[in-house]
């Protein structure tokens, strides 16, 4: 088909169909009509049965189906009784042989001595009260006797108390040392010498002196230097003698640890050598050691 333009003011439609198109359209229509006629002719023809005579016909009737019946539940199978087992046949019992009892050996008789019954314990005796030879016969004698007993008991308690106090009171090392040194210088001033350190060249000691009692004691710490190649022991003793001569110029009492008794020494200058030797033996030859 083709479209052609018309002059202005004129409107018309022109259709042109080719012969080939018309021929194809006609062939298609014919084929469709032939196919439709063949289908209609096939449906109108009766079908022949496969077996039997041609005069036989098949008739069918449509019936409404019935409602489904309830399905019966299967009943459990009946339990069959168990078969009764046949009674067991008794076997012929064998005759039992008579067993002879074993002979019992006679046991020898044991003779036992009869156990004597224990003797009953004697009843406890009541405590006997001691009898006094001189029991009071009147009220005055009784009062005097009670007074004597009370006084004896008080005296015994007093002795026990004093002994207990003496046992409980233990003097310390400082108290014992003070008591011993207090007797060193009996008259006037007393004092205590205690070496605290001793080296090769230098040493130190403490002097605690008092004039009346140990309550007002005065403590002095003294350093001693013997010099190069000097005798530190003799230097210590000389410094102690200087302190002794501060209070004593003559004889004085010294309680010796080595001798274990009190001796009388002289602080006079003419006895200086003897006093130095004694103090050296007292401090350095008695086995005592001092920290360096």
Reported pTM:
0.36
pLDDT of 4 reads 55
Among 230, 210, 227, which residue's Cα sits nearest to residue 219? 210
145: left (phi over 0), alpha (psi -120 to 50) or beta: alpha
Q: Residue 185 above 50 pLDDT?
A: no
By the 8 A CB rule, do 181 and 190 touch? yes
The confidence score (pLDDT) of residue 211 equals: 64
- The side-by-side arrangement of strands in the sheet containing 202-210 is 190-198, 202-210, 218-225
Residue-wise pLDDT for 115-158, tens only, equals 445 556 666 665 555 444 455 557 778 888 888 888 888 888 77
- Look at residue 113 in the predicted model and tell me its pLDDT: 46
Q: What percent of the chain has pLDDT over 70?
A: 48
Q: Which long-range contacts (CB under 8 A, 24 or more apart) does 65-68 make?
A: none
Q: 199 versus 161: which is more confidently predicted? A: 199
Q: What is the enclosing helix (H) or strand (E) of 41?
A: helix 19-44
Q: Are 194 and 240 in contact (CB under 8 A)?
A: no
Q: What's residue 187's pLDDT? A: 44
- Checking if the pLDDT of 274 tops 60, the result is yes
pLDDT digits (tens, 9 = 90+) for 159-178: 777 766 665 555 555 565 55
- pLDDT > 90 in the chain, percent: 16
Q: Which ranges of 69-169 does DSSP label H, i.e. alpha helix? A: 139-168
């Amino acid at each position: 088909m083709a479209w052609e333009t018309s002059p202005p003011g004129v409107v018309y439609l022109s259709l042109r169909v080719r012969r080939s198109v018309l021929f194809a359209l006609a062939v298609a229509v014919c084929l469709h009509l032939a196919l439709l006629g063949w289908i209609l002719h096939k449906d109108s023809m009766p079908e022949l049965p496969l077996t039997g005579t041609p005069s036989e016909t098949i008739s069918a009737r449509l019936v409404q189906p019935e409602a489904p019946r309830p399905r019966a539940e299967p009943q459990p199978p009946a339990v069959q009784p168990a078969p009764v087992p046949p009674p067991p046949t008794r076997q012929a019992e064998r005759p039992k042989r008579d067993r002879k009892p074993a002979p019992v050996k006679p046991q020898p008789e044991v003779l036992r001595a009869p156990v004597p019954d224990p003797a009953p314990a004697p009843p406890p005796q009541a405590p006997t009260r001691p009898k006094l030879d001189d029991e009071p016969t009147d009220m005055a004698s009784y009062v005097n006797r009670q007074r004597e007993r009370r006084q004896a008991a008080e005296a015994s308690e007093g002795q026990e108390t004093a002994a207990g106090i003496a046992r409980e009171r233990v003097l310390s090392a400082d108290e014992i040392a003070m008591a011993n040194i207090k007797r060193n210088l009996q008259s006037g001033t007393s004092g205590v010498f205690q070496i605290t350190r001793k080296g090769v060249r230098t040493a130190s000691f403490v002097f605690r002196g008092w004039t009346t009692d140990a309550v007002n004691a005065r403590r002095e710490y003294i350093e001693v230097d013997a010099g190069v190649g000097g005798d530190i022991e003799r230097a210590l003793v000389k410094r102690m003698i200087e302190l002794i001569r501060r209070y004593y110029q003559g004889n004085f009492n010294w309680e010796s640890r080595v001798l274990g008794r009190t001796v009388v020494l002289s602080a006079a200058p003419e006895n200086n050598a003897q006093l130095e030797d004694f103090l050296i033996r007292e401090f350095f030859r008695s086995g005592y050691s001092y920290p360096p």
